[in-house]
Structure 1
Amino acid sequence: METRTKNGDPIRVLDVSSAEYRRAFELFLAGTDEKPITHARLGEIVAALPHRRVLLDLGAGDGRTTAYLGRSFDRTIAVEPSAAMREKLVTACPDALVLPEPLDRACPPEPADLVHLSHVLYYVPVPDWIGTVGRALEWTAPGGTLLVVLQNPESPCMRMAAHFTGVRYDLGPLVDRLRARQSEHDYALETLELHYRTPDLAEAVDVAEFMVNVAEPAALDHRPSRAALTDYVREHFELPAGGYAIGHTQDMLVIRRAGRS
């Protein structure tokens, strides 16, 4: 498979509404073990909830995980500001109440027994993380659980992003701040080992480009070249037996809100 850009070109800025983003995202989903592993853990968390009345998915994306979780709840509320993602979301979750506002303007109509905030904080300035998670915790029913998911800062995926952009995301300091401010809740930071695999170099580079985009390359003075990214993929992700594997370990912050409902 040939790439759609020349090797000397800078890496692309992939807008979530673009065909290029959707193609890269589908390549990633086709090659990763993320869904079966994360869904298995999510299922365990859901089974341990005292109530399963309302699910609130913040930044629900295309609704695949929302639909999986929603099977266990009486009602589903999803927040998704991207029109392109909402189109898929309403198909995947036809019975969900879908709110189109950004998180800082969303007003869910009732508290939820499970609030899911997955891979959203990349798009929130780090100083605002505490406020964003604080609002999500307010939307969590007493005795309910808030899940915050983000790439582990030491995953091969994030080391690559940091190498090219200097950007590094880390839930650890956020957990410390939350514990200091609201110590009555229970906090646990878990790690899930995940991998994307492909036999094809061009596909591996396309997915690596998709991964680097989480660090907003549009804000860089000089975007790295496609050639540099290709060299990085060859050096760090090529397997001895052939093909390529990119680890994208995730951190899952599990916050169990104090109280009973």
Structure 2
Amino acid sequence: METRTRDADPVRVLDVASADYRRVFELFLAGTDEKPLTHARLSELVAALPHRRVLLDLGAGDGRTTAHLARSFDRTVAVEPSAAMREKLRTTCPDALVLPDRLDRVRPPEPADLVHLSHVLYYVPEPDWPATVTRALDWTAPGGTLLVVLQNPESPCMRMAAHFTGVRYDLSPLVDLLRERHPADDVTLETLDLHYRTPHLAEAVDVAEFMVNVADLATLDPRPSRAALTAYVQDHFARPDGTYAIGHTQDMLIARRAPSA
């Protein structure tokens, strides 16, 4: 009876400071190949930098990726507005300078050789994306790299979010904008093919709920039901071997700044 009642409930809006968010985020991390594949690609990008003096991580979250990157840099500056995330960030990256400001208010102390803006634009109104990314590029030192990471608009994860919320994110217009405004910089877009896998339907649905928690979810009335989400997971992500796999391909906008004259 309890399961049926929950299935009839609307999809939850997950607060990043809540225990529910932390639980489902850990479920996602335990089942996805995102961290090893992403970290491997990040290491390649870092190795190609002419200098590795300063890392600037904008929206550093709990600091797992920040810590991976920070090993290669002399100094690390991490920006994280969420108090709950900052608490973990300071433990994960004890040597980093942690700034609590929002992206539209933060003033980093110095230019960085790598500026990392990963899965942050979901929380920024889309009309503000150009200004946000332009500021991040301004904080990137000559010869340095700005990296912006977001879900690919055609990934199964993003198609699910669009099905239930109408929201779909796309970095392609930003690539065109940066190429137009900064012709001396090398701006490219590449993808990483990532998957979350689990043998348990209940866990797959919890992670799917996490994936559809886009910024507009809280404004929907009514919100989609857990039952509808469960049916979608069964229809689209069930595998012949009885497991579930949700693809969440990432786009990586890579802007390599021209060296100083």
**What band does the TM-score fall into relative to the shorter chain?**
over 0.9
Q: Could you tell me how far 1:5 is from its partner in structure 2? A: 6.8
Partner Cα distance (2:85, 2:141) in 1: 27
> Residues of 1 paired with 2:207 and 2:260: CA distance?
43
Deviations 1:100-148 (A, max 9, x none): 0000000110000000000000011111100000000010000000000
CA distance in 2, matches of 1:146, 1:225: 38
Aligned to 2:25: 25
Greater CA deviation, 154-163 or 178-187? 178-187
Give the CA deviation at 1:76: 0.3
Distance 1:220 1:173 in 2: 26
Cα distance in 2, alignment partners of residues 143 and 54 from structure 1: 12
For residue 134 of structure 2, what is the amino acid of its counterpart? G
Counterpart of 2:6, as a letter, is K
Residue in 2 that maps onto 1:166: 166
Query: What is the 5 A alignment of 1:27-176?
Result: 27-176=27-176
Deviation at 1:215, TM superposition (A): 4.2
State the percentage of identical aligned residues.
Answer: 80
SS in 2 for 1:85: helix
Count of residues paired in the alignment: 260
SS at match of 1:113: strand
Contact 1:195 1:245 in 2 (8 A): yes
Structure 2 unaligned spans of 5+: none
Q: Secondary structure at the match of 1:240?
A: coil
Task: Verify the 8 A CA contact 1:3 1:202 in the aligned structure 2.
Answer: no
Runs of 4+ in structure 1 over 4 Å off: 2-5
2:38 aligned partner, one-letter code: T
Scaled by the length of structure 2, what TM-score is found? Answer: 0.97
Gap change, CA 1:183 and 1:3, over 3 Å in 2: farther
Structure 1 gaps, min length 5: none
Distance change in 2, residues 1:165/1:259 (3 Å): same
Provide the C-alpha distance between the structure 2 equivalents of 1:243 and 1:13, rounded to a whole number of angstroms: 26
The answer to whether the 8 A contact 2:167-2:214 is kept is no
Distance in 2 between residues matched to 1:28 and 1:224, nearest whole Å: 21
In structure 2, what is the Cα distance between the partners aligned to 1:190 and 1:205? 28
Quote the Cα distance in structure 1 between the aligned partners of 2:142 and 2:214.
Answer: 33
Distance across 2 between alignment mates of 1:113 and 1:190: 20
AA in 2 matched with 1:108: P
The 3 A distance-change label for structure 1 pair 54 and 124 is same
Give the aligned CA root-mean-square deviation in angstroms: 1.3
Whole-Å separation in 1 of the counterparts to 2:135 and 2:5: 41
Instruction: Quote the residue 2:244 is aligned against.
Output: 244
Cα distance in 2, alignment partners of residues 175 and 15 from structure 1: 31
Counterpart residue identity of residue 90, structure 1: R
Displacement of 1:3 in angstroms is: 6.5
C-alpha distance in 1 between matches for 2:59 and 2:43: 19
Task: Give the match for residue 15 of structure 1.
Answer: 15
